Amino acid sequence: MKFSNVALGAASVASVLAAPIDGAKEKRAGKFEFLGVNESGGEFGQNTLPGRLGKEYTWPNKTAIGTLRSQGLNTFRIGTMMERIIPDKLTGAINETYFSGLDDLVKDVTSKGSYAVIDPHNYGRYYGKIITSSTDFGAWWKTVAARFKDNDKVIFDTNNEYHDMENSLVKDLNQAAIDNIRAAGATKQKIWIEGNSYSGAWHWIESGSGDALKDLTDPADATGKLLYYEMHQYLDTDGSGTNEACVSSTIGAERLAVATKWLKDNNKQGVLGEIGAGANEQCQTAVKGALQHLADNSEQWKGPFSAHPPRFHGSIPSSSIPTEPIPFSGLRQINRHNGQPSDSLLAHSAAVHHHVVPTPSTDNARSTNLIIMLGMVQVSRKVPFDDPNVLNLCRAGYIASNLIIAIIYLYVQAKINKKKDLTTLKYVEPAPMGSSEEGKLVTTTIHAYDTTQLRAAFRSQAMGIAMMGFMHIYMKYTNPLLIQSIIPLKGALESNLVKIHVFGHPASGDLKRPFKAAAGLMQGLQGGSVQNDKKAIETAERAGRGGAKEE
């Protein structure tokens, strides 16, 4: 996939994955082995090596990863740079300063039972030049793999998106990586293999990747069951992920079909390491089709990964991951084009995740958020943050905004407790997509439901404050203070609970409980939407899938 440098501010990997796969009759397959997301930051600043932590590069936030884990994700693909790990030459020694950050993150992820994928985001290059020595490439992998040889939750991704190289060279590099990873003593770990031409699924055969890589061997396992072929797929015209429009509503499944046949014909297993498209109805349908195709062919496909969440994320509320479509595609492209983190980038990221309350996201709300963000990014560039008085004023505004939000939520809490509506509420929660389980019946009360939603909002605010504190106090970023003084307050005032309990709107239509989930990553990986119709509830009750009454 050939990328331009144009960042599409209106596209979102997460919002495309948001729409559930509708219909109870759709085929369900076995549970995916991997369900994950790409975690970037360690590979940032590719034009500034080795770079400074918190300036040119950073490491993903552990709290955010924990939130995603609690939502059901079990695999995290961690971007890194070959030159930072071993800076002098491919056959050289490890840079312990940089490696310690990677090692700490990997240990944190794997200690909790998740997989950590080591992803050298180098495109088959080292200091910008194509790696031509498979011996040296193998030596790099042998050195790195030796550090993780006793951790079977580590997965080795040989290299991100080889491109514009001879297929024979891509084969040799992959085989050298496999051989040397095993020679390092890492004999039980899974290895992900990537192909030429950006490892695109839709032209896996046409590019020659299929023929070149089908005979790779694993010295540790003659069956090859520890080798996975990692492919990527974007759904715009050229498959680059730089255009908001998708080719059609069926293009997702169509582009995967060729790769699926190759995997089946050659008795191989694959993972869709990246998938992305624009944040519009046609693209959402296309992505749903792609995910359903993976589920229908789970013998071959072992899991999907969203392309990239916002870089430097850290405030992802458990109730909605995430609702805004703005920065995802742009941030993904920045990552893939040697971009460096900036205050503007952090402002975009924080604006999405700082405080997302559980509320339906309308096109109008998204449009106004986009306008506010873009406007505030421009304004923030002109604000003299080096002036202590100005900086303190921005800090005061941020604190005041969060105090107002907290007061609003406390008032909502008082209203909920005063009403203490014990009306029974029943609905069916969908099972994760790819799971053989059916949806679960939840029986609760209006009071308990609203209380749970409010707690999620409080948690979201607390996580946002923690992330903002980290970015501002530790990483010294100032620009996000402006956006974070506006967007979270706007989101709170537009939330369902505030509309009902503060503004007195009737709990009907979009405000009818259970609230419609906003467009988010996890909803896209579920097998359907929340159901509260009589037929669905009765079916769940007859099947004995009821949950405990909360109050």
Distance from C-alpha of 503 to C-alpha of 499, rounded to nearest angstrom: 5
CA dist 544 to 45, 102, 445, 538, 540, Å? 54, 46, 20, 10, 6
Host H or E run for residue 456? helix 446-469
Beta strands in 389-513 (DSSP E): 424-429, 440-445
Three-state DSSP class for residue 165: coil
Helix, strand, coil percent values for the chain (each to nearest 5): 45, 10, 45
Distance from C-alpha of 231 to C-alpha of 218, rounded to nearest angstrom: 19
Q: Which residues on adjacent β-strands are paired with residue 129? A: 126
**Does the annotation mark 161 as catalytic?**
yes
Nearest alpha carbon to residue 284 among 246, 321, 258: 246
Q: What does DSSP say about strands 36-39 and 75-80: parallel, antiparallel, or unpaired?
A: parallel
**Does the annotation mark 299 as catalytic?**
no
The one catalytic residue in 39, 274, 324, 494 is 274
What residues have CB less than 8 Å from 162, skipping those under 6 apart? 123, 124, 170, 173, 194, 195, 196, 197, 198, 199
Q: Give, as one character, the DSSP assignment of residue 264.
A: H
Tell me which residue has tokens 């552990």.
62
Tell me which residue has tokens 């495109």.
123
Nearest alpha carbon to residue 78 among 105, 98, 96: 105
Which of 537-543's residues contact partners 24+ apart within 8 Å by CB, and which partners? 537/426, 537/427, 537/428, 537/441, 540/428, 540/438, 540/439, 540/440, 540/441, 541/441, 543/438
- Angle (CA) 249-251-253 rounded to 5° is 110
Distance from C-alpha of 516 to C-alpha of 512, rounded to nearest angstrom: 8
Q: Nearest 5°: phi and psi at 359?
A: -150, 145
Distance from C-alpha of 474 to C-alpha of 414, rounded to nearest angstrom: 36
Q: Are 262 and 269 in contact (CB under 8 A)?
A: no
Q: Nearest 5°: phi and psi at 37?
A: -150, 155
The one catalytic residue in 39, 161, 194, 324 is 161
What residues have CB less than 8 Å from 379, skipping those under 6 apart? 482
Token readout for 378 is 């421009």
Q: Are 491 and 354 in contact (CB under 8 A)?
A: no
Report, in angstroms and rounded to the nearest whole number, the Rg of the chain calculated over CA atoms.
Answer: 24
What residues have CB less than 8 Å from 202, skipping those under 6 apart? 233, 239, 255, 256, 258, 259
Residue positions annotated with a catalytic role: 161, 274
